[in-house]
Structure 1
């Protein structure tokens, strides 16, 4: 029998939630924050209110980048107020913007929902940290006016194609219409731009970056089958390995004496093989042990005669990489180089 009252669940469904942020000129951080919130269970169907009027913002279920309050319990995520010092943690110390705040609290859920994985899947934590490092942190820093370098270095050129700059360019110019409807439409365009780039980046890390990490883990575990001290890593297929290797060495606490010196892998064509010296750091051009000086800059038959290894193709003049026609050839070069 009907009581004439709406069922609570039906009433809740009819009353759409609202996300609030400021109106006027928009920035990358709140454009991304709004996009991300719509990837959560709670705010997937939420409307958007852009205003600085406290009375309007008070009607919103969640507010980002305005209001002067950061309190997760009441779903308020501003970062402009005096005394705000929140950072992401986990080794990151960049002050958060609204994007970083939303990502810190909702990022794991967003990744799990996007990839359709359980929240407890260990890949979620790995991707959450990776995306903060590679995508979100720079947005936080730029919005908070944090210099990329600790000292005032004058760059030789400017880069203004970063995502924060591209969002900024979507704001109406000084001599264009700035009525609220126009600016709100531009904001939605900016939110889609930065949000879709986030999803593209997440897709790459989930579908390509993580599988490469699995290959590096397996190769690390088997490296003493290749060389008794574990100083040679062998990949049976080409994959990006450098970043993963350094992170895994630290996580697994690999002793210095057992850290890999050379990495062997088939080249991108699959026809020949490469030997690459592991650098001292991911971005360094200095190797832990470069290939022997006497091989550097020598090619083909001359290199085969000099090294005593058939099928040689080249060794780079800096000694960081070389090539051979076979897996056996690069393995022989690596063992010789270890002892030279």
Structure 2
């Protein structure tokens, strides 16, 4: 390798005119593997080469540097998070310290989403998806890489999980008794970056094509609930959709008072032709219901349940009362209406 003249600023490295992304060599982690993949989804760094090194003189020749170099400065395209005093967070209510994945996503995420979905950067969908993907995908990678416990009160989990994305990327590093030459580990890093990137794009695809369209359907159901029942406590969906998170967010946005919040949702059971009545939980991840289905119905099935409830076509009510089934929409709706009064 030719010596670098320290009296002149190093020239940017190029391979056939492509830009160069710099990151550290040696053992790799999920955050920089994903950061590199995301950068290659931007206009500026599409198809960029990757230089893995800790040599500052080589890093200075790169167009952008992630996860190494002890500098965070967007104007210089330097995105490290290991230096003393670093405390950057995503904002928007999120307080987890960022890793290189979070840094790249914070600065380039909107562009990546608008590029992939062919939306204008100012489209409200871009902002919604940018925040959703951070919450559901990127933040955990930031927390894991920075050693931030998921259990702040030191609650010990009952089992260990090593199937998360960060763990799967880690397993791609050579073991202690396997070859650790630069060619081998750089090839493994490429696999890790591809793995992390494909999972990122898979999530983006799901949230853009499935999760986001459900928002408008939940809003419509919430708006029409008084026509379903004068109490306004029952929402009817004419197809199965992921409604819980949207419902809680919309209740906050629309300032729905507690006494007017829905208690039950009605929707078709996927594939069976039957209908479900489900009690709305107290929060999107809670197993506790705002008002569970009546205790006398719980754990009873079919004709016996129809006899006890006085409603035709009953199929079951779960032992906890959080959900039940009926053969028809009218039957499921009647279950919800009677449950309101019991």
Paired residues in the alignment total 329
SS in 1 for 2:90: strand
Partner of 2:302: 300
TM-score by length of 1: 0.93
Partner of 2:311: 309
SS in 2 for 1:239: coil
SS in 1 for 2:41: coil
What is the alpha-carbon root mean square deviation over aligned residues?
1.5
Using the alignment, how far apart are the partners of 2:89 and 2:30 within structure 1?
Answer: 18
- Which blocks of at least 5 consecutive residues in structure 2 are unaligned? 1-13
* Structure 1 residue 182: Cα displacement: 1.3
Partner of 2:9: none
1:122-165: CA deviations, max 9, x gaps?
A: 11111111111111111111110111100223322211111111
Query: What are the equivalent positions in structure 2 for 1:197-236 lying under 5 Å apart?
Result: 197-236=199-238
Partner of 2:18: 16
Range with greater deviation from structure 2 (298-307 or 35-44): 298-307
Using the alignment, how far apart are the partners of 1:298 and 1:172 within structure 2?
Answer: 55
Partner of 1:176: 178
SS in 2 for 1:127: helix
1:147-201: CA deviations, max 9, x gaps?
A: 1100223322211111111111111111222111111111111100111110111
Q: 1:13 to 1:223 in 2, by over 3 A?
A: farther
Partner of 2:251: 249
Partner of 1:75: 77
Partner of 2:138: 136
Q: 1:41 to 1:181 in 2, by over 3 A?
A: same
Partner of 1:60: 62
* Structure 1 residue 303: Cα displacement: 2.3
1:210-234: CA deviations, max 9, x gaps?
A: 1222221111111111122321000
Contact 2:236–2:265 (8 Å) recurs in 1: yes
Query: What are the equivalent positions in structure 2 for 1:184-203 lying under 5 Å apart?
Result: 184-203=186-205
Contact 2:15–2:49 (8 Å) recurs in 1: no
SS in 1 for 2:25: coil
Contact 2:21–2:50 (8 Å) recurs in 1: yes
Partner of 2:148: 146
SS in 2 for 1:243: helix
Q: Which 4+ residue blocks in structure 1 deviate beyond 4 angstroms? A: none
SS in 2 for 1:263: strand
Using the alignment, how far apart are the partners of 1:40 and 1:230 within structure 2?
Answer: 46
1:9-53: CA deviations, max 9, x gaps?
A: xxx996321111111111110000000000001100321111111
TM-score by length of 2: 0.93
SS in 2 for 1:297: coil
Using the alignment, how far apart are the partners of 2:17 and 2:300 within structure 1?
Answer: 73
Using the alignment, how far apart are the partners of 1:258 and 1:52 within structure 2?
Answer: 59
SS in 2 for 1:120: coil
1:227-268: CA deviations, max 9, x gaps?
A: 223210001011121122112212222111111000001111
Using the alignment, how far apart are the partners of 1:250 and 1:13 within structure 2?
Answer: 52
1:289 to 271, 288, 291: 291
Using the alignment, how far apart are the partners of 1:285 and 1:173 within structure 2?
Answer: 41
Range with greater deviation from structure 2 (34-43 or 163-172): 163-172
